[in-house]
Each structure stands twice: as C-alpha cells, then as structure tokens.
Amino acid sequence: MIVELGHYALVLAFALTLVQCVLPLWGALSGDDRLMAVAPPVSVMLFVLVLISFVALTVAYLNSDFSVLNVLQNSHSAKPLIYKFTGVWGNHEGSMLLWVLILVFFGALVGFFGGNLPKDLKAATLSVQAWVSAGFILFLLATSNPFERVAGPPLEGADLNPILQDIGLAIHPPLLYIGYVGFSITFSFAVAALLLGRTDAAWARWVRPWTLLAWCFLTLGIAMGSYWAYYELGWGGWWFWDPVENASFMPWIAGTALLHSAIVMEKREALKIWTVLLAIFTFSLSLLGTFLVRSGVLTSVHAFATDPARGVFILVLLCIFIGGSLSLYAWRAPMLKQGGLFAPISREGGLVLNNLFLTAACAAVFVGTLYPLALDAITGEKISVGAPFFNLTFGPLMVPLLMAIPFGPVLSWKRGDLHAASQRLYAAFGLALLFALVTFWLWGMEKVLAPMGVGLAVWVMAGAVSEIVTRVKFFEIGPKRGFSRLVGLPGSAWGTVVAHFGVGVTVLGIVTASAFQEERIETMRPGDSIELSGYEVTFDGAAPRRGPNYTEEVGHFTIRKAGAYVAELDPSKRVYTARQMPTTEAGIHTTGFSQLYLSLGESRGDGAVDVRVYYKPLITLIWIGCVIMSLGAVFSMADRRLRVGAPKPAARRKAVQTAAAE
C-alpha cells in the first residue's frame, strides 16, 4: 500500500511540475503577479510529494518488501540495517529518485528562502527548475520506476553489491548529488536571466552563494568517493582518472571557474555574459555526468544496470536542456549589458586567468573522457585513455594556475600593481624555495619533480596565509590589534584564504604520496617479515571469521618500527554469501598524515598469501585539503554581504522611517 502511495505521489509531482513549468514563467513574462505567486508554494509541494515517494521506497527497503522488484534485486533480509537504508540509493532507480529529490529540494529552498528576490526572477527560476524536474521525473516513471511490483515474490532478495556495503554509500552519493544537482539552481538562475533579458547585481549576489553551496558539497562528495575507492577497492590508488570519476570532476572544475567569475560579476559587473555561459556549462556537465554514469555506456560499479532505453532517454533530455539553453544563450546573451573595464594586471585579470586555465583543463578532461567513447561509436576502434594522458594534459595546465593563485587576492581591483603585489609575497616565496631546496637536498636528482611540487604546494599555502597577514598589517600594528582585525575581516576574505590554503594542502598530499610512495608485493608465509620505509611488517597467520552476511579470511599482521611495537592490522578477503562475491578489505594504519596500507591477495592453500604493502607519506592531506577547501566555501557563504537585502541595522532603519514620516 505504502509503495503505491509513493508511486502515486511521484505521478502527482510530475503533474505539478507541468503546472510549474508554464504558469509562473507566463506570469513573469507578462507581469502577472497572481501567476507568479503560484511558484513558491508549488515548489514546496513538489518537494513534499517527492519526499513522500522517497520515504515510501525507504520503508519498502527497511521492511525487506521483496514484492517490490527494486528491493528484490538489490536487498537481502540479512543485510545490516544501515545498508538496508543506504541501499535505497545503491541502485539505478533509487539513485535517480534521490537525484530528483535533491533537484526539487533546491527548488523548494529558492521558493522558501527567496523572499527578497525580484518576483519575476524568482518565478522564472522556479519554472526553469521545474522543466528539469519534469524531465527527470518522467524519466523515472517511464523507464526506471522504483515502485514496480513482482507477482509471486520470492522469500529472499539478491542482495546489494558487496562493494557498496560500506559506510561510504551513506555519505558519498548524497554529498555528491547535492553538489552535482545543486548546480541546477545556478543553471535555472542563468536561464531565467536570459529569458528575462537582464542580469543585475542582485542576480550575481544570488548566484554566488548557491554556487558555493553546490561546490562545497561536490568537493566533499568527490573527496569522499576518492577515499572510499582508496580503502575499499584494495588497489591503494586514490584517483584513477576513470570516466566515472571524470564525470563528477568536470562539473567541479567548471563550478570552480564559475564561483570565481561570479566574484567579478558581483563586485565589478564585468564578465556577465561569460558567467551566464559558465553556469549553463556547469550544469550541462552535471547532466553529461549523469548520462555517462547512468546510461550504461561505461562499464563501472556506478552503472547499475544497462538498459538502452534509459540511455536514449537521458540523451534526449541532455540534448533538450543543453541545446535549448545554449540556443537561448546565443539568442539572448547579446542583450545583456557588458560591465566595467579593467586592466590586464588587476584582480579581475587574475580571475580571468583562473577561468582560462580552469576551462582549458576542463576541456582536456572532457576530451580524454569522451574521445574513447566517440571513437568507439564512430569507428568501432577500442582505445583507453588513462592516467598518462591526464597527467600530461591536466598537470601542466594546473602548474601555472597554482603559481598564480597567491597573486590573485593581493592584486587590487581594476588596476593592479604586480611589483607591489610581489613584495607582499616575498616571505611566501622564500618559504617555498626553502622547502623545495630541502626536498632536493634530501632526495637529490633521484626525484626531480618532487622538489618543484613541494615548493609549489608550500607557495600556495604560504601565499594564502601571507595575503591575510599583510592585509591586516599584522606585524606592523602588533599581534593584539592585528588579531582583532583578523577576526573582523569579512567572511569572503577568510573563505578565499582557507580555500586556497586547502588547495595547497591537497597538492602537497598528491605530490608526496605519488613521489615518495613505497610499495612491496610479496608472497608471505606465517612468520615472514617485510621491511618498508623503516617499518617491519610481520605476517602472523590467517584465520577464518564470520560476519552478518559474509565469511572472511583475516590475515593478522604486526607492525614494528626499530623493533618497537606500532600496531596490528587485520586486512581480509571477504566472500558475501548471497552473491558469492569476494571483496578485499584493506588494513590501514595512520601515523600522523601518512598511512601504511596492506591488502591481501588470494591465499595459496599452504598458509602462504600474497601481500601488498604500501607506505604512503602524507596521503591523508589529499582529503584533508578538500575538507579545508569546502570549509572555505562555508566561510564565504557566511559573509553577510552575500545575503541580499540583509536587514539593515535597527538604528538606521528607524532613522529612515522617521525621515520618511517627516
């Protein structure tokens, strides 16, 4: 019954989106207040309806209702409760329902909190958001109905893919989707601006916090996905340049460019046309990512099932939304007025440079991801574009960008002075040089690129810190006043510093973990030891163990450093009973920011087992840096200047009122 209710709510939501598609937009274009007033309540109702439908599916999962096809194919009664819950989106239909839920959630947020938006902009934005929602709800209902029943249900389900039975599934998809789908709202804002033919400062101030919000979650989602793959797949890698990863990385790069160009637009009214285009591109890349991941053109753990009808449906949606918005752009963009002038050496100039490199890097990733697919479709030739391609294209494009990062915030708007700006960065440069030289001195010619990478990372981190220190003249005015000035800086200034610092931290992690990683692969018998980076790893033996829905063979290892006990690790090989599918559970020991990573191969029968041991120096910095970056976005969002029409201080409002009364 509750399942049918969920299905019904979804159908109702589809009908409502059709209303929302037309009426508010009509009102916005014809200036009819009553029609525009339809949008906010409907946007909230849409969210409530899709939520009901999502809850209905969740209930079916929690009750292990195997008469629902989706539950039957992806769940098992012996599965731990948490995975029954997260299993809701661990399959194609459920994950698309989550996608739609977040889509209408963002619409509802604008409907609910957009009180001080211009009325017509709000109505048009919600209409555009409803077009996207209508498309995807129809996709669910027509090709991927999660509520389909089966006649004569079996007693037991087919279980969830064991790789997905992990706490990562509770965190990674929702975070990623909030980011991914969150860009839909900037897309809707951009299309609404084009439809209405104007972008004003209020528009820019509205777009930036939404971009920041989506970007913040996308950053966390990608980082979480990377860490999950790192510890779950047992290959010890944290980024594979897999097309599925690129599918989420491309919107991230475009979104990063967007949030920088939105600053120029907000502060200086320049780059309007470009910002609108970037907003369209960013969400288009999200849609493209959804297509790549969900249509089954790629073989991956993310492609739950391949059904040609679904691929074609998403492709059609993709063409309509991307083609439609770009045509609208070509038609209406010339109407938008271009804003302020600036010299090439200026804050604006720096942000333009950022956008240039980011879009070029995004294009490189785009080519590398889609070229094999296109080549296969056209000539039938099978190629693979792997890490070497991306290291050779993406890497060199990032280097000048990273070098330029510290300069951006110290340049002034409109017309900057590169010489004066450099003077503020001497200390950061000195520090970076010092670290690079020390690295070179320690490792010499053996690793030539590493000192440059370390220097670059330190340069970015120190540059971020020195910007803010010299800005408040911390050392000139003494620490006490300097400290209070630091606290008093606006949120967006802190956001810049923190986010840029995070970039440096991530770069440092990437450089050290790739350049100084040590790896050993050995066949070990009980009692054998391996030496690696000063650690002694001893294999004590293996023993079987039973879990709730799996059995495993656990290897026991003791780690010592210079004879002293450090830790014990228990990596294992699991076999999940329902699917008879094996998985590898790595054993990870974290010391400081570095990790010792152990994974087991198949046992050889006579007690011997293949073991792979890595020492990965400072690897956790990669993900810590991402968390710091999203923290920067939080700081920036907290900036009260971003809240349009923030209530004026009471005293001033009173003064205005009395003035008006007189």
What residues make contact with another protein under the rule CB under 8 A? 161, 163, 234, 296, 299-301, 305-306, 308, 341-344, 352-353, 356-357, 360-361, 363-364, 367-368, 371-372, 381-386, 388-389, 392-393, 396-397, 521-523, 573, 579-584, 599-602, 604, 610-612
The Cα–Cα gap between 174 and 95 comes to 9
From 457, 513, 533, 495, select the one nearest 227 (Cα to Cα).
513
The distance of closest approach from Cβ of residue 452 to another protein in the complex, given in angstroms and rounded to an integer, is: 18
How far apart CA 346 and CA 429 sit, in angstroms, is 20
Nearer to another protein, 580 or 658 (CB): 580
Q: For another protein, which is the closer residue by CB, 44 or 356? A: 356
DSSP conformational letter for 117: S
| Encoded tokens for 601 | 């191969």
Q: In the complex with another protein, which residue's Cβ is closer, 126 or 397?
A: 397
C-beta of 613: minimal distance to another protein in Å?
11
Q: Which residues of 208-236 are buried (b: 16+ CB within 10 A; e: fewer)?
A: bbbbbbbbbbbbbbbbbbbbbbbbbbbeb
In 3D space, the residue among 67, 280, 89, 50 whose CA is nearest the CA of residue 172 turns out to be 89
**DSSP code of residue 446:** G
- Measured from the CB atom, the residue of 19 and 608 that comes closer to another protein is 608
Nearer to another protein, 177 or 390 (CB): 390
Q: How far is the CB of 501 from another protein (least distance, A)?
A: 25
Backbone angles phi, psi at 482, to 5 degrees: -60, -40
Minimum Å gap between C-beta 608 and another protein is 8
By C-beta, is 179 or 234 nearer to another protein? Answer: 234
Complex with another protein: residue 25 or 611, whichever CB lies closer: 611
Q: Which tokens is 78 given?
A: 């012996």
Say if CB 50 and CB 520 are below 8 A apart.
no
Distance of closest approach, residue 188 Cβ to another protein, in angstroms: 28
* Residues with Cβ within 8 Å of residue 406, at least 6 apart in sequence: 425, 428, 459, 460, 462, 463, 464, 466, 467, 500
Q: How far is Cα 360 from Cα 355, in angstroms, rounded to an integer?
A: 8
CB of 163 to another protein, least distance (A): 7
User: Is the Cβ of residue 123 or residue 596 nearer to another protein in the bound state?
Assistant: 596
Element (H, E) at 611: strand 609-616
Closest distance of CB 115 from another protein, Å: 38
Taking the C-alpha atoms of residue 531 and residue 547, their distance in angstroms, rounded to an integer, is: 32
Nearest distance in Å: CB 523, another protein = 5
Residue 216 C-beta: closest distance to another protein, Å:
27
At 339, give phi and psi (nearest 5°).
-105, -145
- Shortest Å, Cβ 156 to another protein: 17
Q: How far is the CB of 153 from another protein (least distance, A)?
A: 18
Find tokens 């094999």 and name the residue.
Answer: 372
Q: Cβ contacts of residue 123 below 8 Å, gap of 6+?
A: 24, 25, 27, 28, 35, 36, 38, 39
- Picking from 652, 195, 629, 39, the residue whose alpha carbon sits closest to that of residue 203 is 195
Identify which of residues 56 and 361 has a Cβ nearer to another protein in the complex: 361
CA dist 405 to 140, 291, 323, 462, 503, Å?
A: 43, 33, 34, 11, 10
The residue (of 299 and 412) whose beta carbon lies closer to another protein is 299
The terminus-to-terminus CA distance of the chain in angstroms comes to 65
As measured in angstroms, the least distance from the Cβ of 391 to another protein is 8
Nearest to 169 by CA among 101, 218, 224: 224
578 backbone dihedrals φ, ψ, rounded to 5°:
-65, -45
CB of 125 or CB of 369, closer to another protein = 369
Alpha-carbon distances, residue 340 vs 190, 322, 407, 418 (angstroms): 20, 29, 21, 21
Q: How far is the CB of 514 from another protein (least distance, A)?
A: 16
Q: Rounded to the nearest 5°, which phi and psi values hold at 369?
A: -80, -40
Q: Which is nearer to another protein, 100 or 314 (CB)?
A: 314
Distance of CA 4 to the CA centre of its chain: 34
- Whether residue 183 contacts residue 601, with contact meaning beta carbons closer than 8 Å, is answered with no
In the complex with another protein, which residue's Cβ is closer, 428 or 578? 578
Where do we find the tokens 């054998």? Answer: 528
- Cβ closer to another protein: 202 or 367? 367
Of 431, 468, 278, 280, nearest to 354 (Cα)? 278
Residue 415 Cβ vs another protein, minimum distance, rounded to whole Å: 9
